[in-house]
């Protein structure tokens, strides 16, 4: 187990280093001079431009820029926002709880819908219920999240007036209002997760149901309900748990457009606002943060896979 963990950590470090190189490289794609953007009104003043360039190390060779940038990154310094006079790390930490709440709610909806539907559709394979569930999942995968969000606002806020169309209230300020403002975006994101989880649960259940141990259990007279719940499902869930962890990572990494549509002030809104304001350090910071979250959650997925899979547990 510890050997596996060490090997896995050994992969994480180079991956993150390359991520940092890619994110740094984004700067080089930028057309024009960042100093001109930053100088704003004073762009005609060469003195000001020179100061800004020196401050951003733009007058140094690229490799030195990267080295210093990485060094600060390793000390938790993600740079400084160009528009809001705050450190990027502070902005990211401020948005994290919002996105985390939304991700947790979406994930709960996704699991509650996706896993049981996947099991039912495998058990009722090739019957009308299976077709119906598959059709809904295919629709779920094919519907752009932001359009589903717009349609939900149209129905529940504009037509019926049941839910607020946008805004966000923190959970600790007013739990009910907080749920009311996040239930629609959570449902939009949750259905996407549910579609993916349903397809994988179905495939895993079909594999499990065709195994010898399931046939043995049936042959010795175990009730079908117990065969499905205990023998097949518990084995089928092993790959689903891994996938679920990765899906959770994707949710945390940003429900970019969904947050934008429902004006939820999380990661997604942060990166979109930064793009609009040409606040490049914030864009880079969010890309780095989401990649870091994703890499850590994949690591967690692998560890969970080890822990819940008895075969691997015994071997390690």
Partner 1 sequence: MSAPAFDRGAALIESGESPARRALRRFLTHKLAVFGLAVVLLFVLAALFAPWIAPHDPLATSWSRIRQPPSWAHPFGTDENGRDVLSRVLWGARASLMAGIVAVGGAALIGVPIGLLAGLSGRWVDAAVSRVADAMLAIPFLILAIALAAFLGPALENAMIAIAVSISPVFVRLARGMALDARSTDWAEAARALGNPPWRVGLFHVLPNIAAPLLVQSTLAIAEAIIAEASLSFLGLGQQPPDPSWGSMLNAAQRFMDTAPWLAVFPGLAIFLVVLAFNLVGDGLRDALDPRGQEG
Backbone angles phi, psi at 174, to 5 degrees: -155, 90
| CB-CB contact of 184 with 163 (8 Å) | yes
Residue 253 interacts with partner 1 (CB under 8 A): yes or no: yes
**What is the Cα–Cα distance from 290 to 180, expressed in whole angstroms?**
26
**What is the Cα–Cα distance from 177 to 170, expressed in whole angstroms?**
8
Residue 250 interacts with partner 1 (CB under 8 A): yes or no: yes
Residue 9 interacts with partner 1 (CB under 8 A): yes or no: no
- Which of 97, 144, 223, 310 forms a contact with partner 1 (CB under 8 A)? 144
DSSP code of residue 163: S
Which residue, 48 or 272, has its beta carbon nearer to partner 1? 272
Q: How far is the CB of 225 from partner 1 (least distance, A)?
A: 26
- Which of 261, 264, 266, 269 forms a contact with partner 1 (CB under 8 A)? 261
Residue 295 interacts with partner 1 (CB under 8 A): yes or no: yes
> What is the token pair recorded at 37?
């953007």
| CB-CB contact of 189 with 251 (8 Å) | yes
- Which of 9, 22, 36, 112 forms a contact with partner 1 (CB under 8 A)? 22
Residue 315 interacts with partner 1 (CB under 8 A): yes or no: no
First-to-last C-alpha distance (Å) of the chain: 5
Cα angle for residues 27, 30, 25 (degrees, 5° grid)? 30
Task: Indicate the burial class of 43 (C-beta count within 10 angstroms; 0-12, 13-18, 19 or more).
Answer: middle
**What is the Cα–Cα distance from 245 to 301, expressed in whole angstroms?**
6
- The three-class DSSP label of residue 58 is coil
- Which of 63, 172, 176, 276 forms a contact with partner 1 (CB under 8 A)? 276
Which residue, 188 or 217, has its beta carbon nearer to partner 1? 188
Which residue, 139 or 213, has its beta carbon nearer to partner 1? 139
- Which of 50, 158, 226, 316 forms a contact with partner 1 (CB under 8 A)? 158
| CB-CB contact of 273 with 228 (8 Å) | no
Residue 264 interacts with partner 1 (CB under 8 A): yes or no: no
**What is the Cα–Cα distance from 217 to 212, expressed in whole angstroms?**
9
**What is the DSSP code string of 6-22?**
HHHHHHHHHHHHHHHHH
- Which of 16, 179, 241, 300 forms a contact with partner 1 (CB under 8 A)? 16
Residue 18 interacts with partner 1 (CB under 8 A): yes or no: yes
Q: How far is the CB of 123 from partner 1 (least distance, A)?
A: 18
Instruction: List CB contacts of 158: < 8 A, sequence separation 6 or more.
Output: 165
- Which of 56, 122, 283, 301 forms a contact with partner 1 (CB under 8 A)? 283
- Which of 9, 11, 68, 315 forms a contact with partner 1 (CB under 8 A)? 11
Which residue, 79 or 165, has its beta carbon nearer to partner 1? 165
Residue 280 interacts with partner 1 (CB under 8 A): yes or no: yes
Which residue, 132 or 158, has its beta carbon nearer to partner 1? 158
Residue 151 interacts with partner 1 (CB under 8 A): yes or no: yes
Which residue, 83 or 222, has its beta carbon nearer to partner 1? 83
> What is the token pair recorded at 253?
């990494």
**What is the Cα–Cα distance from 91 to 79, expressed in whole angstroms?**
11
Binding site for partner 1 (CB under 8 A): 11, 14-16, 18-19, 21-23, 26-27, 29-31, 138-139, 141-144, 146-147, 150-151, 153-154, 158, 165, 250, 253-254, 256-257, 260-261, 271-272, 275-276, 278, 280, 283-284, 286-287, 290-291, 294-295, 298
């Amino acid at each position: 187990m510890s050997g596996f963990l060490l090997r896995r950590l050994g992969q994480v470090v180079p991956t993150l280093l390359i991520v940092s190189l890619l994110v740094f490289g984004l700067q080089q794609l930028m057309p024009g001079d960042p100093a001109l953007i930053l100088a704003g009104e004073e762009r005609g003043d060469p003195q000001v431009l020179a100061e800004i360039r020196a401050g951003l190390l733009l007058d140094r060779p690229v490799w030195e820029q990267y080295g210093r940038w990485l060094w600060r990154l390793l000390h938790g310094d993600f740079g400084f926002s160009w528009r809001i006079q705050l450190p990027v790390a502070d902005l990211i930490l401020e948005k994290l709880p919002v996105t985390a709440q939304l991700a947790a709610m979406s994930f709960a909806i996704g699991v509650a819908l996706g896993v049981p539907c996947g099991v039912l559709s495998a058990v009722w394979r090739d019957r009308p219920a299976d077709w119906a569930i598959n059709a809904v999942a295919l629709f779920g995968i094919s519907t752009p999240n932001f359009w589903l969000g717009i349609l939900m606002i149209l129905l529940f806020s504009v037509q019926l007036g049941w839910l607020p169309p946008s805004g966000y209230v923190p959970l600790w300020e007013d739990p009910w209002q907080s749920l009311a403002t996040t239930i629609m975006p959570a449902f939009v994101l949750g259905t996407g997760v549910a579609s993916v989880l349903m397809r994988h649960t179905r495939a895993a259940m079909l594999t499990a149901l065709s195994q010898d141990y399931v046939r043995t259990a049936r042959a010795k007279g175990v009730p079908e309900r117990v065969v499905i719940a205990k023998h097949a499902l518990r084995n089928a869930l092993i790959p689903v748990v891994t996938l679920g962890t990765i899906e959770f990572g994707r949710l945390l990494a940003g429900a970019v457009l969904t947050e934008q549509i429902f004006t939820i002030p999380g990661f997604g809104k942060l990166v979109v606002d930064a793009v609009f304001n040409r606040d490049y350090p914030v864009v880079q910071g969010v890309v780095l943060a989401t990649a870091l979250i994703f890499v850590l959650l994949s690591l967690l997925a692998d560890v969970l896979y080890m822990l819940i899979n008895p075969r691997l547990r015994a071997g390690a």
